[in-house]
């Protein structure tokens, strides 16, 4: 007895495309579980929920409670559907931006192959980008997205036509042209203009136009009088019935993407002529000018000649490439657990440096030797007074080394790191100081941690000292409750480029402690951090002091910047019931620079009202500070 392969399909409700995909999968022999983003039939969990809702609705006029219950019910129903089986051979997620992280993670851990397809322009749905790295493969239907979002490892695959056994009915009244469109301002006028033109030449013609009631005022009177207006989309299979029973297929592209719509491939399957505004179809191997007409504002009069020419059959080997069966085989053509090098996201290793001529090449070579190969290396010289820039320039000259070198006037660590980030293209970034080194598996291990723990904002590890001091550097474990007191996350933590940029990058007002202040901002909402219990970074305790940070009298001045951080994030400190004295006490304990600490305390509390307040109400602290 053959056991059917199990397929988990997670897809949006939109025009019930998922139902046709499910039908095609079943025809291929899969046991299919479907999860969609529409509401499921609601039932109360218990009598308590029903009673509470009745009370709140009747006496408090609160109708939001039931909506809350419905939302939770839908979330739990979707999750329970994912848990139908412990194991799936394949999971396909269409429009991952529609589904919560918890659901995707549950699906991923049960799946041999975990693939996503985005059939809309990614620029219209950028919220999907942080989820791309969750998948073994992430495909988009627009070739320009593959270029634009190269650092995310997005791959191209077009739409397709369905190839399950054709059981679509014939209809009695057939149209010469049938077209269905949702409301979108970028194509609305083109559709109206074409309708006015074509009804003088061809009949019958049916244009279905779908729009939400809140767009009522935006829909022109011409559309309402001449189109069949709908407020919900016909199921996709009903559309296929109409397409099957029409002679000519229409396709109007929206401005936000250049991907080929399903209508293009319906024409290919049914061997029908297609009129389209998507000029990119001419680059496809199935294109023939007798079969596809590229409609512009100027060439409508050429339609008569196009329609008069006979349809040219396309070689079956080419045509069948675009069937759903072949499409599915293409996107799942890899070994379980395999990450293809080209699909791994680009990771940027940014190396800021200052007066590192003796050691900078070691840092660069450690980045070059990474087992994770899809990296870019960006070196930024912060106005060194030695031969750092010349040393790196000579090293990379005349080679194919994946190293980009920049120089700038001296402006300190924060500005130099930000400058390097601005030149980077990676989905994730790592900062490697110019006198330090990476373990060869640093990037691989860090990226795998993000894959295994995708809800974290930062990943870091232990480290080792070398040169002037040797041995392990046991970095303390991150504790979200202590972050406002002292930093436990090193500068070499890996972070996504999106998170880094959204947080506002490094504060260039800080010549030190800039990493700590950034982590406070990054972790203000999502406090999840993952620490790898391995030494993957090599920290040089230098013999000489002329590195990027050594030119700052750190211990003498950093206490001033504690005050700056406190004032910048005062709301967070108040929320945690923390005050500046406690922060400075932490500095005293951590930095062991007691004299600088006392001098700053005297300065801070020298204002007369502060002095009087502590003398009257906190005499012990007053004696500590002023005596």
pLDDT, average across residues 345-357 = 95
Report which of residues 593 and 159 the model is more confident about: 159
pLDDT for residue 88: 97
3-class DSSP state of 478: coil
pLDDT for residue 146: 92
Q: What H or E segment, with its residue span, contains residue 246?
A: strand 246-251
Mean pLDDT is lowest, of 139-143, 326-330, 334-338, 620-624, for 620-624
pLDDT classification of 60: cutoffs 50, 70, 90 = confident
pLDDT for residue 622: 63
pLDDT, average across residues 359-381 = 96
Considering the chain, what is the average pLDDT of its residues? 89
- Is the pLDDT confidence value at 145 over 60? yes
pLDDT, average across residues 35-54 = 92
Instruction: Answer whether 0.75 is exceeded by the pTM.
Output: yes
DSSP assignment string, 382-447: E--SSSHHHHHHHHHTTS--SEEEEEE----HHHHHHHHHHH---SEEEE--TT-EE-TTHHHHHH
**Residue 377, CB-side half-sphere exposure with 13 Å CA sphere:** 24
pLDDT for residue 588: 55
First to last CA, the chain: 89
Distance of CA 343 to the CA centre of its chain: 14
pLDDT classification of 558: cutoffs 50, 70, 90 = confident
DSSP tag of 110: T
Distance CA 531, CA 546 (A): 30
List the one residue out of 54, 57, 9 whose CA is nearest residue 33.
Answer: 9
pLDDT classification of 623: cutoffs 50, 70, 90 = low
pLDDT for residue 475: 87
CB 457 within 8 A of CB 495: yes
Cis before residue 576, ω within 30 degrees of 0?
no
- Is the pLDDT confidence value at 363 over 80? yes
- Is the pLDDT confidence value at 605 over 50? no
Which neighbouring-strand residues pair with 407?
381
Distance CA 570, CA 573 (A): 5
Of all residues in the chain, the percent with pLDDT exceeding 70 is: 89
Distance CA 204, CA 171 (A): 14
pLDDT for residue 106: 95
pLDDT for residue 573: 84
- Is the pLDDT confidence value at 551 over 60? no
Of all residues in the chain, the percent with pLDDT exceeding 90 is: 70
Mean pLDDT is lowest, of 29-43, 241-255, 336-350, 528-542, for 336-350
pLDDT for residue 398: 72
Distance CA 399, CA 465 (A): 31
- Is the pLDDT confidence value at 260 over 90? yes
- Is the pLDDT confidence value at 14 over 60? yes
The string of pLDDT tens digits covering residues 188-209 is 999 999 999 999 999 999 999 9
Cα separations (Å) of 159 from 75, 228, 263, 276? Answer: 29, 27, 9, 15
pLDDT classification of 589: cutoffs 50, 70, 90 = low
Q: What H or E segment, with its residue span, contains residue 361?
A: helix 360-368
- CA-derived radius of gyration, the chain: 31
pLDDT, average across residues 510-527 = 92
Distance CA 586, CA 592 (A): 10
pLDDT, average across residues 439-468 = 93
3-class DSSP state of 291: coil
Report which of residues 27 and 479 the model is more confident about: 27
DSSP assignment string, 485-541: T---S-TT-EEEHHHHHHHTS--TT-SSSHHHHHHHHHTTT---EEEEEEEEEEEEE
Mean pLDDT is lowest, of 293-297, 373-377, 597-601, for 597-601
pLDDT, average across residues 492-514 = 94
pLDDT for residue 342: 46
Sign of the C-alpha dihedral computed for residues 422, 424, 428 and 430 taken in this order: negative
pLDDT for residue 552: 46
CB 295 within 8 A of CB 275: yes
Domains plus CATH for the chain?
Answer: 6-156 (3.40.50), 175-322 (3.40.50.2000), 344-541 (3.90.550.10), 555-626 (no CATH)
pLDDT for residue 218: 94
- Is the pLDDT confidence value at 593 over 80? no
pLDDT for residue 594: 45
- Is the pLDDT confidence value at 338 over 90? no
- Is the pLDDT confidence value at 443 over 50? yes
């Amino acid at each position: 007895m053959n056991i059917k392969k199990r397929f988990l399909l997670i897809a949006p409700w939109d025009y019930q495309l998922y139902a046709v995909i499910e039908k095609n999968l079943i025809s291929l022999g899969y046991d299919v579980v479907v999860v969609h983003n529409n509401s499921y039939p609601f039932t109360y969990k218990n009598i308590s929920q029903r009673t509470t809702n009745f009370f709140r609705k009747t006496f408090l006029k609160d109708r939001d409670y039931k909506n809350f219950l419905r939302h939770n019910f839908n979330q739990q129903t979707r999750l329970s559907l994912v848990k139908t089986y412990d194991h799936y051979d394949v999971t396909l997620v269409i429009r991952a931006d529609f589904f919560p992280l918890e659901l995707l993670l549950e699906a991923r851990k049960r799946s041999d192959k975990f693939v996503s397809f985005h059939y809309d322009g990614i620029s219209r749905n950028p919220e999907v980008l942080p989820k791309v790295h969750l998948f073994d493969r992430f495909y988009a239907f627009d070739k320009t997205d593959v270029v634009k979002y190269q650092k995310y490892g997005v791959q191209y695959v077009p739409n397709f036509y369905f190839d399950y056994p054709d059981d679509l009915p014939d209809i009695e009244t057939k149209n010469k042209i049938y077209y269905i469109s949702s409301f979108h301002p970028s194509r609305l006028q083109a559709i109206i203009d074409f309708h006015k033109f074509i009804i003088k030449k061809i009949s019958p013609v049916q244009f279905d136009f779908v729009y939400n009631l809140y767009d009522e005022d935006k829909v022109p009177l011409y559309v309402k009088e001449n189109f069949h207006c709908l407020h919900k989309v016909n199921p996709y299979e009903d559309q296929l019935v109409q397409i099957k029973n029409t002679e000519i297929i229409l396709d109007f592209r929206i401005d936000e993407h250049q991907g080929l719509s399903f209508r293009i491939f319906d024409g290919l399957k049914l061997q029908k002529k297609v009129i389209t505004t998507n000029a990119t179809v001419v680059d496809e191997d199935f294109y023939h000018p007798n079969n596809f007409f590229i409609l512009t504002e100027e060439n409508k009069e050429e339609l008569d000649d196009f329609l008069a020419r006979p349809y040219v059959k396309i070689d079956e080997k080419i045509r069948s490439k675009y069937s759903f069966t072949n499409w599915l085989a293409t996107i799942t053509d890899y070994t379980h657990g395999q990450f293809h090098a080209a699909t791994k996201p680009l990771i940027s290793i940014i190396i800021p440096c200052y007066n590192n001529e003796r050691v900078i090449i070691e840092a660069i070579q450690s980045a070059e030797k990474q087992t994770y190969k899809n990296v870019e290396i960006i070196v930024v010289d912060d106005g060194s007074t030695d031969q750092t820039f010349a040393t790196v320039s000579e090293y990379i000259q005349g080679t194919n080394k994946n190293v980009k070198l920049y120089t700038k006037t001296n402006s300190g660590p924060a500005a130099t790191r930000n400058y390097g980030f601005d030149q980077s293209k990676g989905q994730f970034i790592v900062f490697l100081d110019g006198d330090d080194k990476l373990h060869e598996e640093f990037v691989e291990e860090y990226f795998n941690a993000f894959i295994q723990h995708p809800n974290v904002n930062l990943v870091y590890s232990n480290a080792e000292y070398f040169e002037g001091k040797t041995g392990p550097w046991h970095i303390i474990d991150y504790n979200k409750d202590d972050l406002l007191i002292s930093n436990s996350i090193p500068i070499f933590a890996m972070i996504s480029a999106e998170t880094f940029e959204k947080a506002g990058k490094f504060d260039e007002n800080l010549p030190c402690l800039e990493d700590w202040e950034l982590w406070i901002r990054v972790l203000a909402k999502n406090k999840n951090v993952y620490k790898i219990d391995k030494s993957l970074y090599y920290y040089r305790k230098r013999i000489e002091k002329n590195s990027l940070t050594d030119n700052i009298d750190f211990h003498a001045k950093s206490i001033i910047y504690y005050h700056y951080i406190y004032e910048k994030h005062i709301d967070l400190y108040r929320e945690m019931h923390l005050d500046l004295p406690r922060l400075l006490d932490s500095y005293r304990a951590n930095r062991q620079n007691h004299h600088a600490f006392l001098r700053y305390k005297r300065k801070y509390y020298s204002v007369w009202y502060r002095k009087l307040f502590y003398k009257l109400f906190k005499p012990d602290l007053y004696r500590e500070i002023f005596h």
